[in-house]
Structure 1
């Protein structure tokens, strides 16, 4: 179910897209009786209102039923579809037995920091039986998503896609690949009708129970049961021979360090490897507290896969568009559609010069908008995601069914016989397979902001990433962010102008340029998908070893090849490099233009719950005034 389209879609303008409109004007009026509108829609756009009811119910997305968070009775939650310039009001009703919040991932929340959805930082939690109104303006365009930001509830299914249609006059990059006006029109029509492909990982234990197991055992449990596409999948148990044949070099090296030779039946590194090789073996642990089903026991299920139907027009210019969303709690891996190359035209909600690829590595939180030239042959083509994380080899699939628009719906569709681009651990099946290269992406139109920034930032912050006292506790700045702060008065309501000696709070001033160095202090250490709320970040550079420089300007004198100061990738979620044989670092830059309390954190759910986060008081000198409804909530 999609909730609604907005007012100024590129092609449909004020026409609604197929879906269900929800009129909640009465309930929103009651919730905001004492407040006036906080922001105004752009000319020609409208206020869009949505109603999300969160429930805690039995659900079986992979054939195994457990309690999950459903949004309007479904998983993933319904598509929120709006237009650039709209004002968005989302009224969330919490009927779950737990406190919760909702975060709109990648939305900058300009002038509405109180709707960012971080407990203890921008809002108080939504208790069971209560409702909360999020209000913000769609100042951006592109693919986003919404999800819980309370503990590990993303792992419980509280998530859904969000699409903002770009304004009609906004330049699109499609003319770079279209060879005719007719083909260009087909691409524009495909973008206007783009569909989300929500990729997620699924565990057979709730986030509360999973966290309790980690605390009792003293180790992380990075092992999932299934990969889902648009909320559907199945448990696929590989044979011992297949697991052995597809061992990656990294997995082989880690197994050797633990005196083991094979993955578990679930395709995972064992509890011993996780606890004594990847983590400090001296840390206290009790591996016997890990139930067998977490790492070792794989029970296959039979369950339907998601199916995406494309009625291919007789015209040879047949295109489809998808927004691929990495809504994972943990996994990173390769995405591909058999027999169909992908034209990546937007990343994390912003246009880029189109790049033709066969496979894309999707990290936790990332979004890729792709145009797909539809095969001229009717067939059932496999959509596949293959984890390339060392901790587990696991795959998920969906069906892309292509049929001639003139063919009858009951006509049998043959299974495709094309060779996949990738295998079940994301490795290319031939030397000609092209992977998306983040370093090569170019903003469309060109991004002049970072080129005009000073070589030396106003301030440079080094954040040391390390395990903090237990293998399931992580620190982003040498100190684990205390999760009990979720229950405190939000930082937005009472900023701390003096954060000296406070390793979990950073403070900036408006119009400053900030460089942040993420330094992995130990190894082996996996990549960490780092997400900044409030605005995007430029990836200036990365490398191995220790970053022994006080500023980027100094580093440029010694290791200039490690940096891209002219056309760096700009994203809201960036993965740190893996520290495999030694320390590793990454430098990002951002411009302080959006004052308020924002979160910077690892998007792996267990790492976030373990404290891998810092709060940033951006623009402390122009701090926003919080409206009464939000300040006085509960």
Structure 2
């Protein structure tokens, strides 16, 4: 509760009343979750049970008996309450990915940072306001539990009267009406990579071998899929040049699971670092075990060619490691929103979806021949060849079945089938928020962060120091403590409220994969990227020498950006954000093995206006 220093002032009665009224309003705003009844209330019971998403049964986390968990749906402006009952045999927390948690940082779901762990047989209530709109998702934020299946989709319908970009697609009124109707009722497509071992088993193997486990068993769409084992000649023929470059070092081939062999990983990315390949069971990298699960089917019924028909899809990257190339055979996609916010629409054939991304797309089905169109998810990560499939089933009232086979844009390694007429791939670097959003011309503070391995291939840092996960067991969460007034170590950044901050992410060495960097609390703007070292102290200095590498006019705005691939030299990426949401926030790579390996930073934003945590959250342990 806010206090006025415990002092007495000689104020007139009228001023006292005004002061008391102001105090009441301020306290109510800062502890909103204590006083307002929710418009939307959800109950989650999380359990540890056997489940077989791709036909292979393993222990998993189910939410209300479901995988993926229930879809959450609400309206912009709603007060939201999600109660999590932990029936797991271990601790957990829940994070609402991309939700800014404006004025409610205690509901962000990061153990040790914004809350205590939810102990087995305990419950925790998350209260927050849906200040945003669009497509989001929720997932566990305790160690590697994302890989155990604790996630689901989240949709916030925009408030009435909000400006939309649909007239940039068409000005035909019947078509606009059809588009708006489709966008109001999107169908979610959760894309995920799935392993046949639990996250705890993966941790045990990782620490014993000192190697990152880069292999998964299947790609799922809405929790459905199969583990496919390809013939050896197909694997050899589809090996990409970037993979071949690694394999050449050991005169090797990809394994039966389509993975880079563990020894190649140790000898290249882990060159000079300790490892124990013999500690890895054969089923993790080498042995492929096929299994058959269900296939996700999205059905669309056409009325007639005279009625314009559209569908909207929210494509969500609930991925642990892989980057997914998403496409639907023969079909063009209008991308109209990214990470929950409208963008200037672009017509493409495919989208690379990294960990945590959300893309909202429109498909015009009016002129499509009735039949089945394959939804394809292809890994473009160099670690492994891996694919998944679903079906978009277009039906008419006269045609309810189909035997047609659709033609893909890509081979199963992500290489375009047609070299002369390649498919159009979404380019995130030219993404433009709609309507245009203001950006400060320069930052008040700049932080240069050097990304690197630290002593082993499983230990990652964002700024030269491994982030300790033990922080979630070391007493009061960071948010509950008085904030630092300045950065005191390589893991903490402090800012003043209502200031602009530049973060420069630099690869310290190469080769290094892209890192999808996710910021909690609010979104970032991608203002520049490039190859080679970032030799300047600020963006202003860099712009003077390489202005072509930067964009300060309505650049992309997202809650995560992937750093450039550093294959033959180092690379860098510059983002700018507005520190206008005081609290303790996490900044981290969203690849699960990198996050668990310590690739995180702590952002203490608005230390001069630090929020007061409500009593009900202080007591939750």
Bucket of the pairwise TM-score, normalised by the shorter protein: over 0.9
User: How many correspondences in the alignment?
Assistant: 586
Label 1:558 to 1:177 Cα distance change in 2 as closer, same or farther (>3 A): same
Give 1:504 deviation, angstroms. 1.1
Give 1:500 deviation, angstroms. 4.3
Deviating runs (4+, > 6 A) in structure 1?
A: none
- Superposed, which structure 2 residues align to 1:259-270 within 5 Å? 259-260=251-252, 262-270=253-261
Which whole-Å CA distance do the structure 1 matches of 2:285 and 2:483 have between them? Answer: 43
Q: Which residue of 1 aligns with 2:9?
A: none
Where does the alignment leave 5 or more consecutive residues of structure 2 unmatched?
Answer: 1-30
Q: Aligned to 2:500, which of 498, 513, 520?
A: 513
Q: Which residue of 2 aligns with 1:503?
A: 490
Please state if 1:335 is matched with 2:333. no
Larger Rg: 2
Which whole-Å CA distance do the structure 1 matches of 2:432 and 2:455 have between them? Answer: 41
Q: Which residue of 2 aligns with 1:68?
A: 60
- Superposed, which structure 2 residues align to 1:351-366 within 5 Å? 351-366=342-357
Residue 492 of structure 1 aligns to a residue whose secondary structure is helix
Per-residue CA distance 1:368-421 (angstroms, 9 max, x = gap): 0000111531111100010011001100001111101x247xx422233x3212
- Tell which deviates more after alignment, 267-276 or 102-111: 267-276
Where does the alignment leave 5 or more consecutive residues of structure 1 unmatched?
Answer: 1-34
Which whole-Å CA distance do the structure 2 matches of 1:303 and 1:624 have between them? Answer: 48
Contact 1:54 1:94 survives alignment (8 Å): yes
Q: Aligned to 2:529, which of 542, 545, 553?
A: 542
Q: Which residue of 2 aligns with 1:427?
A: 415
Residue 66 of structure 2 aligns to a residue whose secondary structure is coil
Please state if 1:92 is matched with 2:84. yes
Q: Aligned to 2:317, which of 321, 326, 340?
A: 326
TM-score, normalised via structure 1 length: 0.91
Per-residue CA distance 1:31-80 (angstroms, 9 max, x = gap): xxxx9744759xxxx71100111110000000000000011111110100
Residue 88 of structure 2 aligns to a residue whose secondary structure is coil
Please state if 1:459 is matched with 2:448. no
Which whole-Å CA distance do the structure 2 matches of 1:538 and 1:504 have between them? Answer: 22
Q: Which residue of 2 aligns with 1:53?
A: 45
Q: Aligned to 2:110, which of 112, 118, 123?
A: 118
Please state if 1:164 is matched with 2:156. yes
Per-residue CA distance 1:293-320 (angstroms, 9 max, x = gap): 0000001112221111111221441100
Contact 1:510 1:619 survives alignment (8 Å): yes
Which whole-Å CA distance do the structure 2 matches of 1:420 and 1:500 have between them? Answer: 51
Per-residue CA distance 1:248-296 (angstroms, 9 max, x = gap): 1111111112332x210000001012111012x2211110000000000
- Tell which deviates more after alignment, 58-67 or 561-570: 561-570
Which whole-Å CA distance do the structure 1 matches of 2:558 and 2:36 have between them? Answer: 27
Please state if 1:618 is matched with 2:605. yes
Please state if 1:475 is matched with 2:449. no
Which whole-Å CA distance do the structure 2 matches of 1:427 and 1:433 have between them? Answer: 10
Give 1:495 deviation, angstroms. 3.6
Residue 608 of structure 1 aligns to a residue whose secondary structure is helix
Which whole-Å CA distance do the structure 1 matches of 2:303 and 2:34 have between them? Answer: 45
Q: Which residue of 1 aligns with 2:299?
A: 309
- Superposed, which structure 2 residues align to 1:18-417 within 5 Å? 37-38=33-34, 47-260=39-252, 262-279=253-270, 281-314=271-304, 315-374=306-365, 375-404=367-396, 406-407=397-398, 411-416=400-405
Give 1:425 deviation, angstroms. 1.6
Give 1:454 deviation, angstroms. 3.0
Which whole-Å CA distance do the structure 2 matches of 1:197 and 1:36 have between them? Answer: 33
Label 1:39 to 1:353 Cα distance change in 2 as closer, same or farther (>3 A): farther
Which whole-Å CA distance do the structure 1 matches of 2:448 and 2:182 have between them? Answer: 43
- Tell which deviates more after alignment, 558-567 or 52-61: 558-567
Label 1:226 to 1:39 Cα distance change in 2 as closer, same or farther (>3 A): farther
- Tell which deviates more after alignment, 343-352 or 333-342: 333-342
Q: Aligned to 2:513, which of 526, 551, 555?
A: 526
Residue 531 of structure 1 aligns to a residue whose secondary structure is strand
TM-score, normalised via structure 2 length: 0.93
Contact 1:39 1:136 survives alignment (8 Å): no
Label 1:567 to 1:122 Cα distance change in 2 as closer, same or farther (>3 A): same
Which whole-Å CA distance do the structure 1 matches of 2:433 and 2:371 have between them? Answer: 35
Give 1:179 deviation, angstroms. 4.1
Which whole-Å CA distance do the structure 1 matches of 2:444 and 2:163 have between them? Answer: 33
Q: Which residue of 2 aligns with 1:5?
A: none
Which whole-Å CA distance do the structure 1 matches of 2:32 and 2:558 have between them? Answer: 33
